[in-house]
Every structure is written in structure tokens, then in C-alpha cells.
Structure 1
Amino acid sequence: MALWGVLFAMSKKGTEPSPVRKWAMRQYWRMQQSQAVVGLLLWGTTITLLLWPYVEWRFSDSCDSGICFNNTILGIPATYIGLVSIFLSVMLGVLTIGYLYDKVFSLWTEWRSVDMERNPYTTYALTPNWMMVTALQAELLKRSSPDDKEIQEQSEWFLKWCKQYAQGELFARAVQRWDEDMGPTPTFWFTDDEAMQKARDIVFDDED
């Protein structure tokens, strides 16, 4: 709770990227990559061990009523068979819930809608790829309608939008990778030499 409080307080201090928040979110992202598989195994194991004491007697010599099993099944201790059966039943239950979530209730559509709403790069921000496409189209539109004042103003607005997000981290990563793969990246028409140099000077610490 203290960590989240610090991160929340830092989020109120402006739009400048915080190294602490960035580092914390990177570690959180790394943990999320295995969260689904690890969570599924933990749930299955926990429920299996919770249910086992209630059915264990059916796999022992003391079982004298109802459904009973031998101590061994095909040479395998019945205890193992029972534990595996419970675990697979739990997995089947999870799969059934997932099927209902997907095919019957379609809750993933609303989840995806909220996810898109919260993603700045699908609402107001620009990734380097879309930035280049948008700037190119705006420039072509601007040159094809030199006498249309409204088109000129809107084209300038689009170019200003691209220039604004050319100062961000994603553009800096793109420039550095372009420099590495294809040689020096030219100064694009919607930005300037200062922004390009700033993009090259940023040092990333992704290995922390």
C-alpha cells in the first residue's frame, strides 16, 4: 500500500516520466507475463489440497461404503490418481467458466473496450509508426490544396500533433533503432534537429 501511495503521489507532480514509476511498472509487467499460468497452477493445487482430506478415505483400506478404490491402480498408488483427478476436474471447471465468459456472456468485448479507452496510443497519443503515416498524409494534403485555408490549418494541426509526440520516449527508441539498423535517421519535416538529438541522447535502462 505504501508503494502504491508513493506512485500515486508522484503521478500528480506533472507529466514528466518518473524513473521510479517506470522501473516499478517494468517489474510489474515482467511478473504479469507468467501470471496467468502461475495463477492457474496455484488455484488448481490449492483447491486440490483443500478437497483431498474430504475424499482421501475412499482411497484407503478403511473405506467400507460407497465408492472405494484400491490402494493401487495399474501399479500406481491410488493417492496420486485421486490428486490428479481432482486437479484435472478443477482445470475443467476453469475451462468451462472461460468458455461461458467467451461464448455465452462475451464479457471480453466490454473488457477490450475499457482497455482501449485507457490506452493513450489508441485515443490521443501517437506511436512512431502512426506518427510517420499521419505526418506524411498531412503534408501531402497540405501540398495538394495550397489555396484552401481550412485544409492548410488542419494540416498544420496534424503536423503539430506529430511534433508534440516526437518528443516522447517511443519516438526516441524508434530513432535509436533506425540509426542502428539503417544509419543516421534524417530530421523529419514535422520535427527539428534539437528534438532528433534529444531522442538520440536518451539512455534507456531496460535491463534494470
Structure 2
Amino acid sequence: MKLFVKNMVCDRCIMVVKDQLQKNNLTPVQVTLGEIELPQAPAPQQLQQLETDLKALGFEIMDDRKSRMMEKIKNIIIGLVHRSDEKPSANLSTIIAAELHYDYNYLSALFSEVEGITIEKYFIRQKIERVKELLVYDEYTLSEIAGQLGYSSVAHLSSQFKQVTGLTPSHYKSVGNNKRNPLDKV
């Protein structure tokens, strides 16, 4: 049995969810971003307690197909932006369509309907959060960051950064008030 969990966006989230499963005497087959696979359906009372415990920690078990699809799309994008050190070999639409085995136009329309923004804008927001993180760490030049995240130039990165944050990357870095957003809030 699979359960789909909203706001499960990082390895720490997986650890927290595994801990809650253990506290509820549930042994998963596998726990991945946004998904829990159990060998069998838990008792209704056990499932209700798990839902309550997870909700208290900011997670939510999803029961409709659209919500599950949105989480899968978000997890693909977060993986591409935050967990991969290499540039994707294909464009975003091809990657998402191939991973989910659906037509990209359908997924794009569904995402816009449910989330209120396009997949592309969500992807850009995630990239900007990654840029913020890399700027704070101060390990790479802006040119290196642009290259890592697949921007055609520093000017293109700077333009998108300013459009999303209202600041240039250099001003953001110099301000010192480096407010980053949690990935599930982007």
C-alpha cells in the first residue's frame, strides 16, 4: 500500500516520517520523497493516528490523485535543482513527462490549475532559492552558479533573481539579511 505525503521535500523529512512510522508501529517497505510504501494497509485507527502525528509536524497524507501528482512534479523539480550536481540532459518538460508517463501539456495544465502558477515559474523559484543558498555559502562565483543551474549567462540569472526577489544577487549577498524560504513554501 502506498501513502502520498505532502511537504516531504528533503532527506530530513524522510527521517522524521520514518520516525513517526516507527512510533506508530508501522514498518515501511520504503520511504522516499513524498511516498511511503507499506507492506499492507494499516488499521484505520493506526492510520488516523499517523495522519495526526504527521500533520503536527507539517506533513499531510494526500488522498486525491491531483495532489499526489503535484507532489511528484514538485519532488522531481526539487531533485533537479537541489540534489543534482549535474545539469539535466534534457529540458524540464521532457524530464517530467518521462518520469511520470503523462503528456507534459496535461501535467502543466493540471499543475497551473491546482497550484496557481506554472511549472516553469515553480522551477524558476526553486532555482532562485538554490542561488540564494549558494550565495550565502560564498563558495562559488556568480558565473559558476549560473553555469551549475543551467543559466545561459550571469545576466540571465541576475534578471530572474531580481524579478523573483526584487534584489540583484550582489545586493542580496551584501544586505546580510539572507532570508531563504523552506522548499515546501516556494
Which has the larger helix fraction? 1
- TM-score under structure 1 length normalisation: 0.28
Which has the larger strand fraction? 2
RCO comparison, higher one (Cα < 8 Å, 6+): 2
- TM-score under structure 2 length normalisation: 0.31
Bigger Cα Rg: 1
